[in-house]
Amino acid sequence: MPALTRNELKVSLIQGATRWHDSAGNRAYYGELIASLAGSDLILLPETFTSGFSNEAIHNAENMGGPTVTWLREQSRKLDAAICGSVQVRVDEKVYNRLLFATSDGQIRHYDKRHLFRYADEHKRYAAGGERLIVEWRGWKICPLVCYDLRFPVYSRNRHADAGFEYDLLLYVANWPRARRYAWRTLLRARAIENLAYCAGLNRVGRDGNGLDYCGDSAVLDFLGAPLAELGAQEQTVTVALDPAALAAHRARFPAWMDADAFTLG
C-alpha cells in the first residue's frame, strides 16, 4: 500500500446556532464566524445552515444559481479554502437536502442526502439522492455525508482497491438533537474505526423553531476513534490539523482492509 505524500489538512468546524428560516441572516452570521479562519484548508458548516432543519423551508429553496451558492463561492475564494454545508436546493420539481462543497477555484460539487429522516417526515417533502461523492482536495480524498446518513454504515464503507482507499476523511454535517446525542457521539467513533479514516462530525447548537434543542458535540476523530477535538454545547469554532503520515502508518500496521467484504453500492 503506497504511503501518503500529501501535506497536513487543516479542518475547521463552525458549531453555530442557526437562525430559523433566515437565509440572509444566516449568511451574515456564518460569514462573521468564517472570517477568522484564514489558513484553514476545509471549513464545515451545519446541515441546512441557511434555515435550520425544517420541512417548511422547502418553500424557500434556492436553485444552484441562487444567493447561497454565490456566497459560498465568494467565501471560499476569500479564504482560499474549501467550505461545505447543506441547504435546500430546488432542481425542476424536486427539492434536495444538498451538501455543497465549494472550492477556491470556483467549483461547486454536491451530494444529495441519501437517507431522509423518516422520523421527522423529511422523506415526504424532499427527494433522496442516489450517488455518493468523493472529493479530492489538496491531496486528500474526502467523503462528505449528511446527518441521518451516519446511521447507515454500508453507505459510508471505505472500500480498498488497487488505487488504495476510496477516502481519507469521512465527514458529516448535521442538525442532531440533544435527545439523541449518545447515538451521535457513538456512531461517529464507529465510522472512524471501521473505515480506517479520520472522521469529522459538525453539529449545530441552540434551539430551533420546532422547539428542539441541540447540544453540539461536534468532533474530529482519528482512525482509532480517539478525539483530536471535541466541542461543547455552545457556539464554538476549532481548527485541527490532520496528519497523513499517522494515517498511513496505522493502515499499514493494522491492515483490516485486507479482510473486508467485497460489495457494490446499489
Give the CATH number of domain 9-257: 3.60.110.10
Residue whose C-alpha is closest to residue 163's, from 134, 192, 132, 200: 134
**What cell was used for 197?**
479514516
84, 141, 143, 147: the active-site residue: 147
Q: What is the pLDDT of residues 212-261, one digit of tens each?
A: 999 999 999 999 999 999 999 999 999 999 999 999 999 999 999 889 88
- Distance from C-alpha of 73 to C-alpha of 71, rounded to nearest angstrom: 5
Note the pTM of the prediction, 2 decimals: 0.96
Q: Please list the alpha-helical segments (H only) found in 15-158.
A: 23-34, 67-79, 122-125, 153-156
* Annotation says 215 is catalytic: no
Q: Indicate the domain borders of the chain.
A: 9-257
Tell me, yes or no, if 47 is annotated catalytic.
Answer: yes
pLDDT in tens, 154-166: 999 999 988 899 9
Is a pLDDT exceeding 50 seen at residue 3?
Answer: no
Active site (annotated) includes residue 94? no
Residues in the chain: 266
Catalytic choice (113, 143, 166, 215): 113
